[in-house]
Amino acid sequence: MVLSYWEMAASLVTTDAINSEAFLAAHNEIVATFSKIEPFLPELRALTEEPEFCRHMERVVMATPDAEATLRRRRKAIRAAAPSKRQET
């Protein structure tokens, strides 16, 4: 549901219903969400046989300045914030 929400929201930008700058000023969470799935997009698109899967999100996020660097930073921050997995002995 999260992906379909952000895909729908991003489609408002890609169809010019809302200005991308205004959208991103209020909805930066799309970048964090996309950063989680971006490394897996080719595989997800192939497995689902949906080559357009999350294309609106991709277009909106990748159009931002320094998108690749931003996505790397977001993934790093998300990993750092995740609780560590310790084995108890």
> Structural domain tally of the chain?
1
The pLDDT, as a whole number, for residue 82 is 85
pLDDT range class, residue 84, cuts 50, 70, 90: low
The pLDDT, as a whole number, for residue 86 is 55
Residue 87 located in a structural domain: no
Give the number of residues written for the chain: 89
Are the C-beta atoms of residues 71 and 28 closer than 8 Å to each other? no
pTM: 0.85
User: What residues have CB less than 8 Å from 54, skipping those under 6 apart?
Assistant: 3, 7, 34, 37, 41, 44
pLDDT range class, residue 2, cuts 50, 70, 90: very high
Q: What is the pLDDT of residues 19-71, one digit of tens each?
A: 999 999 998 899 999 999 999 999 999 999 999 999 999 999 999 999 999 99
Distances (CA, A) of 46 to 4, 40, 42, 43, 49: 18, 10, 6, 5, 5
Domain that holds residue 47: 2-81
Residue 89 located in a structural domain: no
